Amino acid sequence: PCAGKSSCLVHITRKATEAGFDVYTAPEVATLFFNSGVQLGDILARDDKEGMFTFQSALLQHQLSLERALTKIAASTGRPSIIIFDRGCIDAKGYMSQEVWERVLGEANSTSTDDGTLKKGVTEEYLLKRYDGVLHLVTAADGAPQFYKHGKVKDDAGNDVIRHESPEQAVELDKKMREVWKAHPQHHIVANGAGGFQEKLSAASEVVLELARKTHPEEYETAQKKQR
């Protein structure tokens, strides 16, 4: 929370577009839910385990649907493309118990089978393999606390968001996010350095473009040719 994701998305989009890529950026599903009237605070206050399961199960399913839709659209263009998701599926693990997480995984729809039906249940391994890279932006509460905002606030793009975490909770959650994603072979952490926020933006963009070059070299070369 409050790590600069919105500003980074703008910066990365500009840099990747300049490098010859089409760029797709997806919103955070939880924020879509909150802005639609979902009251997660009430669920937490009641310690409503079934309510939390229902919320998290819906969130994962919607995230998967959004990812699949954008991937399909990007692939249909035949152009070198980068898709950036504000949050990844594994993020949800940091917000619930292992028991609830396993139930959520069991309820999610997997990929379509040859006959067009859906298989029930996914694994963490399946979710991890969906992403070429994971970019972890460290919360402002860790290293730049004067810039941390919580409650009903506006993000860097001026959009209304609900940030429930106190600075202390944000730091703890940041640690959880590092832990749940640590198995990904391309897990990159961008901290709040001495160079300030601009340095953080530049570092994040460099990670994304380098991931594109390493994981999809042919598409990267095609994008470079567009700029020559």
Q: What is the pLDDT of residue 183?
A: 96
Distance of CA 147 to the CA centre of its chain: 21
Q: What is the pLDDT of residue 228?
A: 63
**DSSP one-letter string for 23-90:** EEEEPPHHHHHHHTT--HHHHHHTT-HHHHHHHHHHHHHHHHHHHHHHHHHHHHHTS-EEEEESS-GG
Q: What is the pLDDT of residue 19?
A: 93
What is the rounded CA–CA span in Å between residue 137 and residue 192?
8
- Percent of the chain residues topping a pLDDT of 90: 58
Tokens representing residue 182 in the block = 């640590």
pLDDT digit string, tens, across residues 20-66: 999 999 988 988 998 899 888 788 778 888 888 999 999 999 999 99
pLDDT digit string, tens, across residues 3-16: 888 889 999 999 99
pLDDT at 154 over 90: no
pLDDT at 160 over 60: yes
Strands 151-154 and 160-163: antiparallel
What is the rounded CA–CA span in Å between residue 191 and residue 122?
31
